[in-house]
């Protein structure tokens, strides 16, 4: 039984990690990155029983930052979906350094860290607006999919938005 399990795992691993058409960078990774900042107060509904922002809400803050980033570049998620494409999150990572309470003002800094033909990675910092201290850092990784949910290359019409 174990040889079949191992053989099956190897087949799966190859299908995931050894693509016949590996992703390629379609735009140079310019430095410094375009950074979009989104500022808002911590809302009461986002806090937990200890009175601090519940850890899961930082993903909501990341989404706010990402949405504002795309709006600042002249588009929005609704346009992406209306054109027959989607950008689902495939990976998320957060590192918690500090916390905030109801009414505190926070700023989400968002930039694109990686642009590949099928994948885009957004990087984030959530900072305290008053002190500038970093509260949370992290990233979300997304893949381009068509309306049926199949992974596809970034559409030509969207390359300029994510440059």
Find tokens 């938005």 and name the residue: 161
- The answer to whether 122 touches 81, Cβ cutoff 8 Å, is no
DSSP state string for 93-106: EEEE----BTT-EE
Angle at 95 between CA 32 and CA 75, to 5 degrees: 50
| Catalytic residue status for 48 | yes
Which one from 29, 48, 72, 76 is the annotated catalytic residue? 48
What positions carry a catalytic annotation?
48
């Amino acid at each position: 039984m174990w040889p079949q399990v191992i053989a099956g795992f190897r087949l799966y691993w190859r299908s995931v990690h050894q693509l016949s058409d590996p992703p390629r960078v379609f735009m140079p990774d310019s430095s410094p990155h375009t950074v979009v900042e989104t500022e808002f107060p911590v809302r009461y509904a986002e806090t937990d029983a200890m009175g601090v922002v519940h850890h899961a809400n930082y993903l909501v803050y990341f989404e706010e930052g990402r949405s504002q980033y795309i709006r600042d570049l002249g588009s929005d998620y609704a346009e992406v979906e209306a054109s027959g494409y989607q950008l689902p999150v495939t990976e998320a990572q957060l590192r918690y350094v500090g916390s905030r309470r109801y009414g505190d003002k926070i700023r989400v800094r968002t930039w694109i860290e990686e642009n590949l033909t099928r994948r885009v990675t957004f990087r984030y910092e959530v900072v305290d607006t008053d002190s500038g201290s970093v509260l949370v850092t992290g990233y979300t990784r997304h893949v381009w999919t068509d309306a049926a949910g199949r992974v596809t290359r970034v559409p030509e019409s969207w390359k300029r938005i994510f440059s």
